[in-house]
Amino acid sequence: MDHTQRKYSEYKAWLQPKSSLTPKALRIRADFDLDFIHQECRLGLNRLWGEIKESAAYTLQLKIDDGAHEAYSLTPLASGFEIAGGSKRGLLYGVYRFLNRLATGESIDQIHERSAPQVDYRIINHWDNMDGHIERGYAGQSFFFAHNQFDYDAERITDYARLMASIGINGICINNVNVNKVSAGLIAEPLLSDLADLAALFRPFGIRLMVSVHFDAPMIVGGLTTSDPLDAGVKEFWRAQSAVVYDKIPDFLGYVVKADSEFRGGPEAFGRTQADGANTIAAAVAPFGGLVFWRCFVYNCQQDWRDAQTDRPMAAYKHFQPLDGAFDQNVILQIKNGPVDFQTREPVSPLFSSLTNTHEAIEFQIAQEYTGQQIDLFSLAVQWEEILTTEVNKGKQLRGLFGHEITAVTAVTNTGNNMNWTGNTLAQCNLYAFGRIAWNPDLTAKELIREWIRITFETDEHGSQTIEAMLLQSRDIYENYTAPLGIGFMVNPSNHYGPNVDGYEFSHWGTYHRADFEAIGVDRTSKGTGFTTQYPESLQNMYDHIATCPEELLLFFHRVRYDYQMKDGRTLLQYIYDSHFEGAQQAEALLQSWETLENRVPQEAFYSVKERLKRQLRNAREWRDQVNTYFYRKSGIDDEKGRQIYR
């Protein structure tokens, strides 16, 4: 990347210079041994205010106090300001938070905050392959790898590390969970030394690296004839190889493992349990304080569509719930937020309410695989707020498990080597929001979106209100024109963008809507596949009964006739027609709103977002017409309002 690119405003993301702020003359003083943080603070103030004017009359004091490890406090004093952290990392977070609050336009003396994260591990997962291609990547190629080796620009990595640390991220897994023969070698030389060099760039920012490992590494890397986790040679391989890794990178965070999933090897291939597999690897990293993030995305991806008994959302619970309590202390089960796969609308995975003796990580997807691929606008903060405030047990919300059962928050990132990191500049908001909710799940979508707009753009009232309204509505709009009421999928197979109502209907992936001439959906109640029985009783009852099931999840839980009367009196079919017509209209309104922002946001961002909103509109119309025509052809029932449905 050349230096002219770094000048683009979108590259700076939420760490923007500001011309409208009033600088304050001050002197920064730091305790002994805080040079790096001092330098970050100075750099940040210079960015916001221009060159700092020194004044002995006002002191910005940076210090370590006796607070919790990652906690910080921001306190205005009589003639100065104090940023304190429970450790260097806590102090660094305090400095970034202070700078971000200044960037929103707050004056120093209004800034008063004490904060500590609710979970210890806040992690970004890259699905970067070593050939440079990113699985489900919508923002270019990897900025870590190319041509099956490390290939990065150290300055960009430093900028990335700062961006991530500024929102509280403390762990990054750099490679795809679908590990291949090349990336399996990341835990051995010669790649390991390169990994150590990369880890050194992240270290000052308090970010520890992880890699995804291949379950069959004992065979691929170690040359053994088995990967059976109970085999003595296999255990020794993991122990010895991990010792080599930790010798090179003492603060290495650990491994992510996708096993027995989508054609990956795993313990079940050897007649062993998920716990046998996870514990063998965990035992190898335990002496070094390492962790194993063991993914629960385990299901039969070779299902016969004729088989109506097997119900994919039930799979993770079936594999893992019976093993509650059987995992070692340094194993964290990494569970996708929903039981299927990052759809526009799903219930919360029943594993969260049913594992009580196991460390859990919730896995979100910032990459918009099924939610518009960073072309269509989709504010994930809105979706995450709903997920986090969903009741999971006896009135307790999912976010109430943070810091207890849930000890880590992870997400598949939406970044790549595009100059603006995320392809769509507005998708930076999702990355920002992720870090912030991982730190504090009580933040609302509205707060997060506002904060992001204020630190990212220097625009007028109309500009910020327009962007805020667009982002806040974006999730409902996308949902309106795509698959209705939690039914999911209906996307083009493989690339997962654009409509294809029956695209997955006769495939082996276990994702069926089973629409016929009078009804649609899978009965997942206790009288159907039994999926609802995986929830605590009160939730089971709520989901079981069509009258109490949240309407937005109607087609996730129930098989419903097209003439079923919705709460507002419309039939299900009419609801589908209406929401699709409305969604396409709303997509048009998004474009019109954005067009009013010319000269109110940086030019590159204006044109690139506009281009994407045009593509979104084409996509929305295609979804509207394909979905409406599909249901018209199935049901033979006209739209009550006589709008155009193609025959």
* 258 lies in the binding site for ligand GCV (CB under 6 A): yes
* 197 lies in the binding site for ligand GCV (CB under 6 A): no
Based on CB atoms, which residue is closest to ligand GCV, 341 or 544? 341
Residues 341, 346, 405, 578: which is the catalytic one? 341
Residues 70, 369, 544, 639: which is the catalytic one? 369
> Would you call 31 a catalytic residue per the annotation?
no
* 131 lies in the binding site for ligand GCV (CB under 6 A): no
Count of residues of this chain found to bind ligand GCV when the rule CB under 6 A is applied: 10
Contact region with ligand GCV (CB under 6 A), list: 154-162, 172-180, 448-456, 478-486: 172-180
Based on CB atoms, which residue is closest to ligand GCV, 281 or 572? 281
Contact between 605 and 9 (Cβ < 8 Å): yes
Backbone angles phi, psi at 75, to 5 degrees: -135, 120
Give the rounded distance of the alpha carbon of 156 from its chain centre: 21
Backbone angles phi, psi at 415, to 5 degrees: -100, 160
R_g of the chain computed on alpha carbons: 25
Based on CB atoms, which residue is closest to ligand GCV, 127 or 581? 127
Write the DSSP symbol of residue 231.
S
Contact between 383 and 347 (Cβ < 8 Å): no
Residues 33, 247, 262, 537: which is the catalytic one? 262
Based on CB atoms, which residue is closest to ligand GCV, 128 or 451? 128
Quote the least distance from Cβ 496 to ligand GCV, whole Å.
7
Contact between 582 and 466 (Cβ < 8 Å): no
Alpha helix positions (H), 25-152: 35-49, 88-103
Backbone angles phi, psi at 175, to 5 degrees: -130, 160
Distance CA 159, CA 294 (A): 29
* 177 lies in the binding site for ligand GCV (CB under 6 A): yes
Taking alpha carbons only, the member of 391, 395, 386 closest to residue 446 is 386
* 260 lies in the binding site for ligand GCV (CB under 6 A): no
Kind plus residue range of the DSSP H or E element containing 629: helix 603-635
* 612 lies in the binding site for ligand GCV (CB under 6 A): no
Binding mask 278-297 for ligand GCV (x = CB under 6 A): -------------------x
> Would you call 518 a catalytic residue per the annotation?
no
Contact between 220 and 236 (Cβ < 8 Å): no
Quote the least distance from Cβ 146 to ligand GCV, whole Å.
19
* 500 lies in the binding site for ligand GCV (CB under 6 A): no
Candidates 127, 205, 432, 575: give the one binding ligand GCV (CB under 6 A).
127
* 136 lies in the binding site for ligand GCV (CB under 6 A): yes
* 436 lies in the binding site for ligand GCV (CB under 6 A): no
* Residue 185 identity: G
* 178 lies in the binding site for ligand GCV (CB under 6 A): yes
Nearest-CB residue to ligand GCV? 178
> Would you call 82 a catalytic residue per the annotation?
no
Q: Please, which of residues 292-321 interact with ligand GCV by CB under 6 A? A: 297
Report whether the peptide linkage leading into residue 204 is cis, meaning its omega lies within 30 degrees of zero: no
The CB density around residue 388, as the number of other CB atoms within 10 Å, is: 24
Distance CA 174, CA 47 (A): 29
Catalytic residues: 262, 341, 369
Residues at the site binding ligand GCV, with contacts judged by CB under 6 A: 127, 135-136, 176-178, 258, 262, 297, 341
